Amino acid sequence: MATCAGVSRRLAGGLHALLSQASFGSGPGFAAASRSLAKSRGDLGLALATATTTTTTATASAGPRGTSHAPPSSGREEGSPGTSRAYGSARTEKDSASTTYDVGCSSNIRWHESPVTRDARERQLDQRGCVLWMTGLSGSGKSTVAFTLEHLLQEKGKVCYVLDGDNVRHGLCKDLGFTRESREENIRRMGEVAKLMANAGIVTVVSIISPFAEDRDRVRSSLGADFHEVYVKVPLSVCEERDPKGLYRKVREGKIKGFTGVDSPYEAPRSPEVTLEAARGEPADMAKELYEYLEEKGLLKF
Ligand SMILES: Nc1ncnc2c1ncn2[C@@H]1O[C@H](COP(=O)(O)OP(=O)(O)O)[C@@H](O)[C@H]1O
Ligand SMILES: [Mg+2]
């Protein structure tokens, strides 16, 4: 991983110049996008890929809710009726060695564009893919509200999936601990999976402490308008009183070190899209509030 990070840093040095030469973007907004790209190891390669393969069918255009540095797969086409391309027509130009590139530690690869656009997937589901990123202290109610919302959406015929921090640590992230570096990598992976799921048209709810603003902001930069930060704002005293997993007790007994809110910082969001004051209501009320937010934003219809 250290080698990849080193490679990424070297690539970042030349990133802006490469992006400036690319045919699809320029100007201060684009420069800002490239800076945020440089911060993200995952997106860095894709940006380079896009910048160096202008002959492919991929585009980096900012769709209505896409980002200027969305992966070529975003499939969002402005003005598109949302239909799929003709089957098998995704890549008709002759393959050429010059259209492969390196991404992170992977060499000679290329994004394979799908003939099924994101709009087509969303039209089929009659909803819009998005990510509700729920952040808050342990015991604030992120998981409870997230799964209540998933249930509510399922009952309304909408496709939702919860990427819960603890659940994903059972598999994809089980090699990570709770050091600063591991937490950063954990958030990066969650962000990348959430991005794919939003691209699949799914209402994706991420419930994870994500204590560091820098890590959350990196995901926000990567997901653009698909990212909706939900601050589950519950005082530490209430979380500690609830202590659903008995963790605060263990912390007070000195059995756990580096616990968010106690001896590890929690950086509250500065301008979240939604703030849930979960101490003041039932989980069902909070889930309903989020459901209404999704409706207001037009995300529950195509
Ligand atoms: N309004 C509320 N929203 C969410 N959880 C609540 C609420 N009121 C009480 N609770 C309780 O608080 C606890 C929250 O635990 P959990 O959802 O696991 O938190 P987190 O995922 O943030 O660590 C649960 O036991 C839940 O029943
Ligand atoms: Mg939880």
Residue 52: Cβ within 10 Å count? 18
Residue 299 contacts by C-beta under 8 Å, 6 or more apart in sequence? Answer: 127, 128, 130, 203
Residue 153: Cβ within 10 Å count? 21
Q: How does DSSP classify residue 72?
A: G
**How remote is the CA of residue 146 from the centroid of ligand 2, in Å?**
9
Q: Side-chain half-sphere of 250: how many Cα atoms within 13 Å?
A: 11
Write out the two tokens for 295: 């409706």
Write out the two tokens for 256: 């756990």
Residue 53: the pLDDT is 39
- What strands lie across the sheet with 130-135, from one edge to the other? 160-164, 203-207, 130-135, 227-232, 274-276
Q: Which residue has the higher pLDDT, 103 or 73?
A: 103
Residue 223: the pLDDT is 98
For the CA of 281, the closest atom of ligand 1 is 1
Residue 93: Cβ within 10 Å count? 9
Known catalytic residue: 210? yes
Best-predicted range by mean pLDDT among 8-12, 62-66, 240-244?
240-244
Residue 96: the pLDDT is 56
Residue 81: the pLDDT is 38
Residue 26: pLDDT above 60?
Answer: no
Residue 70: the pLDDT is 42
CB 70 within 8 A of CB 225: no
Q: Report, as an integer, the average pLDDT of 119-130.
A: 98
Residue 240: Cβ within 10 Å count? 18
Give nearest CA residue, ligand 1 atom 6.
Answer: 141
Give nearest CA residue, ligand 1 atom 5.
Answer: 141
Residue 298 CA to residue 302 CA, distance in Å, equals: 8
| Nearest ligand to the CA atom of 135 | 1
Residue 54: pLDDT above 60?
Answer: no
Q: Which residue has the higher pLDDT, 106 or 96?
A: 106
Give nearest CA residue, ligand 1 atom 12.
Answer: 141
Residue 143 CB less than 6 A away from ligand 1: yes
Residue 73 CA to residue 301 CA, distance in Å, equals: 22
Residue 174: the pLDDT is 98
Write out the two tokens for 215: 């890590």
Residue 71: the pLDDT is 52
| Nearest ligand to the CA atom of 289 | 1
Selecting among 138, 210, 221, 222, the annotated active-site residue is 210
Residue 20: pLDDT above 60?
Answer: no
Residue 21: the pLDDT is 34
Residue 101 CA to residue 14 CA, distance in Å, equals: 15
Choice from 142, 144, 232 to test ligand 1 binding pocket (greatest atom count within 8 A of CB): 144
Write out the two tokens for 196: 């794919």
Longest dimension (CA), the chain: 65
Angle among Cα 157, 146, 155 to the nearest 5 degrees reads 20
How would you class 218 by CB atoms within 10 Å of its CB: exposed for 0-12, middle for 13-18, buried for 19 or more? buried
**How remote is the CA of residue 147 from the centroid of ligand 2, in Å?**
10
Residue 74: pLDDT above 80?
Answer: no
Instruction: Find the helix or strand (DSSP H, E) in which 109 lies.
Output: strand 106-109
Residue 281: the pLDDT is 83
**How remote is the CA of residue 287 from the centroid of ligand 2, in Å?**
15
Sort strands 203-207 and 160-164 into parallel, antiparallel or unpaired.
Answer: parallel
How many Å separate Cα 282 from the centre of its chain?
A: 27
CB 82 within 8 A of CB 122: yes
Mean pLDDT of the chain: 78
CB 25 within 8 A of CB 31: no
Q: Which residue has the higher pLDDT, 60 or 302?
A: 302
Residue 193: the pLDDT is 98
By mean pLDDT, which of 87-101, 105-119, 164-178, 258-272 is the weakest?
Answer: 87-101
**How remote is the CA of residue 296 from the centroid of ligand 1, in Å?**
25
Q: Report, as an integer, the average pLDDT of 3-10.
A: 43
Residue 14: pLDDT above 60?
Answer: no
- pTM for this entry: 0.76
pLDDT range class, residue 212, cuts 50, 70, 90: very high
Nearest to 280 by CA among 140, 148, 132, 143: 140
Residue 211: the pLDDT is 96
